[in-house]
Amino acid sequence: MIIKIKVKGIVQGVGFRPFVYRIAKKNQLRGYVKNMGNYVEIVVEGKEEDIKNFINELKNKKPPLSKIDELTIEKLHQSKKTFENFKIIKSETNEEEEEGTIPADVAICEDCLKEMFDKKDRRYRYPFIACTNCGARFTIVEKLPYDRENTSMRDFPLCNACLREYEDPMDRRFHAQATCCPACGPYVYLTDGKEVIAEKDDAVKEAVKLLEEGKILAIKGIGGTHLTCKVGDDETVLELRKRLGRESQPFAVMSKIEHIKKFAELEEDEKKALTSPRRPIVVLNKNQNYDNYFSKYVSNLDTIGVMLPYSGLHYLLFDNEIAYVMTSANLPGLPMVKDNDQILKKLNNIADYFLLHNRRIVNRCDDSVVKKVGDNIVFLRRSRGYAPEPIKINLENENTKNILCVGAELNSTACLVKKNKLYLTQHIGNTSKYETFNYLKDAISSILKLTNTNKIDAIVCDLHPHYNSTKLAEELSKSQNIDLIKIQHHFAHAYGLLGDNNFFEDAIILAMDGVGYGLDGNIWGGEVILFKNGKMERIGHLEEQYQLGGDLATKYPLRMLLSILYKAIGDDAFEYIKTYNFFSEKELNILKFQIERKINCPKTTSTGRVLDAISALLNICLKKTYDGEPSIRLEPLATQYKKNMTGEIETIPPKIKNNILNTTYLIKKSYEMLLNGENKEKIAYLAHIYIADGMFNIAKKIAKKYGIESIGITGGVAYNRIITEHIIKNAKKEGYNFLQHKRVPSGDGGISFGQGISYLLTQLFNEG
């Protein structure tokens, strides 16, 4: 008996072919396995019973990092014995228009870690140690098939010892493309930017000494570069902030698992995320001992972003320190630097020393970030460890088109839709910046190449006419003569939530964030959306407010507070704003002129702008230095009040009319409470609950009207634990099925995914 098996999924760079070889030999089968670029082809010959056992093991005992999405079996004609034995044969490039999958980068495995710290091992203290179960994948690959000559490891020919392992089917480095050793692989070196100070292990040891002395180091890793320093030294951390121009954005830290409970609370599902081979940054609650170890300048929130070491180099850095600041090495709004010449040039006045290596990073990839909200671990950023693995959705009709979705403006990603799989790129960032916009184009080019996509059938973009991503989509549509579809920002959020949950029935979706271009030309951001019969409809929202000074109101939250207070109490608002000593008399006169005549005062329903106004009212944040800062810094106050609550408290009853939540009333009540000496933490908490209750009440009313049983939340505000968890509590109490993101960011990093889902659902319902 002889059969041909075609396996699609994550079957490259994960030890799949060596695994096939071993189980074929175990079952006395002959034939071959080869990589076809976007799938693996297996031909086996032998007894029927042995082949059945082989197929069973293929499905159920596959390598831990592999994933089989599709397995097809074809019986071949056999007239005589065809094969003498079983072999892994040379890869071929398949020209068929089919999707392939390159696995994401994964953390160093326990076996390699043991070898790295074994003095008798030839890879002792070698930072690039890897095998078929760990190491760089996506960040080193240039094209398919995933073979060494198609990666940046081709720059390092294998020595005899490594070659023996690479060619030995029983070795765990059999066909491990990233395998290497001190004799033949990449090496690290330490420089001050002018000359090399030390190389190889001496460089690592010297780097550790410099960190302990309070120096700031740029450390090149797997997918980019981090800026690193001690966590407990105020002077060093402040100096890093000064050099980077990051006034208050929290720094992520790296620590070993045995140290984390010294400074942070750690729940079991958070620990599971931290220790997974994907190794994201996990946002943890600080504990009462945090200040004993950390400078107050590392994070001014009640949380701290923590990741474990994920490369050999990271583990070698830990000696006496329990944690290091480990923040992406980029100036605000620009991509993380990855090439040695650019690292030295762009970080020249930021890092004191540079711990670099000579392996090329092909695909830049930032760290992923997750956070527990409710009972779920959700993505704030989906990148290293996850990209470019596809997200599969379940639809009855098979999609036959290749769809490119270019995302939004901030926290951007792109997404490629092929059949029922959506391939999200790594995190891109703020595409209003020229360098980041070019990074978006490079990432799109890379994802097309790695999925063997030769033709795009349609492009989906945001409705906003001034986004660079929109302009890119328009240019590509025109130059390649392909369809262009524009989808409203919050509808894309809502579609993304449905696709994330593989739920395509009628639902009410709360889309809450900072900004999105609305169908009426105004700024949306606090929307109640009805999804019914395959269509999205805005059916409720927050009250429209005037964004005083346009984008300036997002940078200076006092402008938002002044605008809403003026609506509530008239000219007295200007007298009150004077107490902040933030605006000059001349500036206040200009602002008064503007607001009275509605000059440069676009209308907005943004949840973010209302939270910004509360943040300014309570003097938490008067100037935004990073995206979402005012509302992000407001949340800990509300959290603190919630922790200290005893029993139920009297909330502010939401004022709703025509499915519109009155936010002027909220700001006025908060202002009055503050003047009456009410606790700031209580005001912050009540403001969050007002928004949560108000939006849920609108959703519930609409759900009852249409007989809908499912309610969900999406958008950047879905990261806010107070608001989201209160809405979840209300929904479950009322018996609703609640939808929350799990596989895709609820913020703008998930917009491109939602754009893809919008296309697929539109086609599905149109055909239906």
Quick check: 99 and 390 in contact, CB under 8 A?
yes
Give the integer Cα–Cα distance in Å for 687 and 634: 10
Phi, psi of 78 (to 5 degrees): -135, 125
Identified catalytic residue from 17, 125, 538, 559: 17
**Torsion over CA of 708, 714, 715 and 718, rounded to 10 degrees?**
120
Q: What is the helix, strand, coil percentage profile of the chain, to 5?
A: 35, 20, 40
Which residue in 70, 177, 144, 154 sits closest to 447, CA to CA? 144
Q: Are 451 and 425 in contact (CB under 8 A)?
A: no
Residue where the block lists tokens 């090329």 = 360
Q: What span, in angstroms and rounded, lies between the C-alpha atoms of 768 and 764?
A: 6
**Contact criterion met (CB below 8 Å) for 321 and 211:** yes
From CA 589, how far away is CA 279, in angstroms rounded? Answer: 52
Cβ 54 vs Cβ 111: under 8 Å: no
Task: Say if residues 335 and 429 touch (Cβ distance below 8 Å).
Answer: yes
- Is the peptide bond between 388 and the residue preceding it cis, with omega within 30 degrees of 0? yes
Helix residue ranges per DSSP H, 426-465:
434-450
Catalytic residue at 17?
yes
Contact 156, 184 (CB under 8 A): yes
Quote the crossing angle between the two packed helices 468-480 and 434-450, to the nearest 10°. 50
Beta strand 2-10 with 40-45: parallel, antiparallel or unpaired? antiparallel
Placement of tokens 């006496």 in the chain? 320
Token code pair at residue 364: 């830049």
Q: Which segments within 36-101 are labelled E, that is strand?
A: 40-45, 67-75, 86-88
Q: Using DSSP bridges, classify how beta strands 217-220 and 353-357 pair: parallel, antiparallel or unpaired.
A: parallel
Q: Which of 264, 267, 305, 306 is nearest to 288 (CA)?
A: 264
Residue 229, classed as helix, strand or coil, is: strand
Burial label for 503, CB within 10 Å (0-12, 13-18, 19+), is: middle
Residue 454 annotated as catalytic:
no
Instruction: With beta carbons less than 8 A apart as the criterion, state whether 405 and 262 touch.
Output: no
- Three-state DSSP at 184 gives coil
Quickly count: other Cβ atoms within 10 Å of residue 403's Cβ: 24
**22: Cβ–Cβ under 8 A, 6 or more apart, which residues?**
169, 170
Q: Which of 27, 35, 38, 501 is catalytic?
A: 35
Assess whether the previous peptide bond of 654 is cis (omega < 30° from 0): no
Beta bridge partners of 135: 106
Residue 179 amino acid letter = T
Which residues carry out catalysis? 17, 35
